[in-house]
Chains A and B, each alone.
Chain A
Amino acid sequence: MVDWTHAGGTVLAAFLASLVEFVEALTIVLAVGTVRGWRPALLGTGAGMVLLLLLIAGLGPLIAAVPITWLQLSVGVLLLLFGLRLLKKAILRAGGIIPLHDEDAAYAEETRSLRTSGRSRGLWDTIAVTTAFKAVVLEGMEVEFIVVAMGATAGLLLPAAAGAGVALLGVVLLGLALHRPLARVPENTLKLVVGVMLAAFGVFWVAEGAGLPWPGGDLALPALALGFLGVALAMAALLRRSATSTLRERRA
């Protein structure tokens, strides 16, 4: 029997987090394909996916061998560090302190960089293959971590992988249809939501792993997410107000 308090949150978090990462990887692969040709772009993407599959095959049995309380504690700590880092950046973006992430700007910068870097001699366009490979591996590893962390601790690896799989399918289909970066995906909002969810799961699993019971049991999870969301929105509003009043003081 699937516990939907966990399963719903796990699938949603895996889907949203994977969506953001796949959109970022697509931008770079598209830039490589457009500027340097589709052969090295697809070669780098394929090699990256093979490495990711090997990582899953290698790490899967290791994770299964870890006692559940240690798994909850270690995964909880990593989720909390990852989630709070995402959340801090999302608050700073929402508060106007650092610029919003713009997929069109990232695409323009990547194509400019690929155009100015020299072509490799011989059969391989090493720069193009390496760029696509790095993008797929880096963004893919984030997805793998989230899927494993969210799925393994609650025995929900398949639902979490399904959430990531749907995100991958959606991004690939949209990329094939549009042939340009998915700039309309509200990445900054999604990153804030993902940060909230990962931080909530992180706190929940750390406490579970340390043997600290939650009042309300599994219902603490949505309460934690609401708590982190409240802190994030309040901080973003505070930063915006503070920036506005500083601007007024300078003008006066």
Chain B
Amino acid sequence: MNAVRAILAELLALFVDDWSFTAAIMAWLVVVTLVLPRFLPDSSWGGPVLFLGSALVLACSTWRRARPPA
């Protein structure tokens, strides 16, 4: 039973090990796929905007982890 629990926990940890990082990525995905198309008439920018936001979330979260607030 413990082995099954450990496997399920590890399975979740594949995708989530820092909840704020995961939440930021998911929030950005919601903004780009659901909110942005209503305000951006040219949808060909959607993909690049999705990339830029994801890269920014990655950079900010990595910096925050490397330099925790004093």
Contacts and interface: CB of A to CB of B under 8 A. Distances in A.
Given A88-B61, A92-B65, A213 B3 contact: no
Interface size class of B (residues with CB under 8 A): 35 or more
Nearest to A134: B3
B54 to A, nearest CB: 6
Interface string B37-57: 100000110111011001101
Interface residues of A, number: 42
Interface in B1-50: 3, 6-7, 10-11, 14-18, 21-22, 25-26, 29, 32-33, 37, 43-44, 46-48, 50
Contacts of B7: 134, 137-138, 141
A25 interface: no
Contacts of B51: 203, 224, 227
A91 B62 contact: yes
Contact of A213 (B21, B47, B54): B47
A172 to B, nearest CB: 22
Contact of A84 (B37, B46, B50, B58): B58
A145 B14 contact: yes
Contacts of A88: 18, 21, 58, 61-62, 65
A203 B50 contact: yes
Which of B10, B16, B61, B62 counts the most chain A CB atoms within 10 A?
B62
Contacts of A128: none
Contacts of B3: 130, 133-134
Contacts of B54: 80, 84, 199, 203
A97 interface: yes
Contacts of A80: 25, 29, 54
Nearest to B16: A81
A142 B66 contact: no
Given A88-B58, A235-B58, 18 more contacts: A77-B26, A80-B29, A84-B21, A84-B54, A85-B15, A85-B17, A88-B61, A91-B58, A95-B66, A137-B7, A138-B7, A141-B11, A203-B50, A204-B47, A212-B33, A212-B37, A228-B58, A231-B58
13 contacts: A73-B33, A80-B54, A84-B58, A88-B58, A95-B66, A134-B7, A145-B14, A204-B47, A206-B33, A206-B50, A207-B47, A238-B63, A239-B62
Interface of A: 73, 77-78, 80-82, 84-85, 87-88, 91-92, 95, 97, 130, 133-134, 137-138, 141-142, 145, 199, 203-204, 206-207, 210-215, 220, 224, 227-228, 231, 235, 238-239, 242
